[in-house]
Amino acid sequence: MDLDQSLNLTPGESLLLKDPELARPSDLLKVTFADLLLKKAIKAEVQKKKFIFWTRKEIYVSVGESYSKIKFKLHERVILDHITSSPKELHMMAWDLRKTLERAYRYRDDYLRDPLMWKGYFRAEEGSILWLFPHTKYVLTEKGLEAQDKIWSLLRQAKNLDIWVEENPARAKAYLSVCGANILLLSSKDLEIVKSCSKELEKVEANTSSYYDYYWYDYTWRHNLVDDIEYDQTFDFNFMDFDLPEIDILDSFDSLGSAFDSGFGGDGGGGDGGGGGD
């Protein structure tokens, strides 16, 4: 097999295609933010902030080393536009992003779904609610359904990860190499397995094409943070720090979702209908 193609999907795009009707704007935002951390486009650190009678931990974000090295997608750029070289409190970044978006569902619809529709994953269908009110519904095309099937297939394979680590580490490494940053869609239990096995898998040699004929991650990972690397380069497993200190920080990122939601009264509601099958 020849791995000459990729689904070219970020975790945010994958999450929307996986469950078009259930994907919440705040979850799409959080998984995209995590991806940008792993791509080192954003740097995050926890600092202690002292008040008169207590001390509280705050997450500060600033531009990372790859901020200017990658051509980011629209749903990534709208977040990065609110990241500065000077560290900013996470909730303040979320507040600024809210002001830009005005409505939470715009992040899902305008920055993720619409670009995917331009690429042929969704199509718009005109209809009505209760036969009275005009309504546009967005459904998955054949291309979208094919991508969705592959996403679900790869996610289901994660249940074998701990077995592969013990019995077939090359298979485990091939799986993680194909997923790239989309490991962020794995369950917390599966992510713990990734973190625990990362060091030993770094030394494992694996022929990814023995198991897969396509990649899942988006092309920016293939660039490996260098502009002129060709697309036929394989995923650099060693580049991704599977110690994942950023993921540990993300344990506190519920505050990102809540800060993002709070200005809208939840996820904003009122968006156009989600996707579905043909």
**Alpha carbons 80 and 84: distance in angstroms, whole number:** 8
DSSP calls for 131-153: TTEEEEEEEE-HHHHHHHHHHHH
**Alpha carbons 259 and 60: distance in angstroms, whole number:** 14
Tens digit of pLDDT at every position of the chain (278 positions): 455 578 889 999 999 999 999 998 888 988 898 888 888 889 888 777 777 777 777 788 999 988 888 889 999 999 999 999 999 988 888 888 888 988 878 999 999 999 999 999 999 988 766 666 777 889 999 999 999 999 999 999 999 999 999 999 999 988 988 888 898 898 888 888 887 777 778 788 888 888 888 889 886 655 444 444 343 344 444 444 444 444 555 555 555 556 566 555 444 444 443 333 33
Strands 133-140 and 42-50: unpaired
The whole-number pLDDT of residue 128 equals: 63
Strands 55-63 and 88-89: antiparallel
Q: Are 70 and 116 in contact (CB under 8 A)?
A: no
* Alpha helix (H) residue ranges in the chain: 11-18, 25-38, 74-80, 90-101, 105-108, 114-118, 142-157, 161-167, 169-179, 188-202, 219-223, 245-250, 254-262
In the sheet that 55-63 helps form, which strands lie side by side, from edge to edge?
42-50, 55-63, 88-89
Q: Are 26 and 98 in contact (CB under 8 A)?
A: no
**Alpha carbons 199 and 243: distance in angstroms, whole number:** 8
The whole-number pLDDT of residue 142 equals: 97
Eight-class DSSP state of 123? E
3-class state of residue 155 by DSSP: helix
The whole-number pLDDT of residue 249 equals: 52
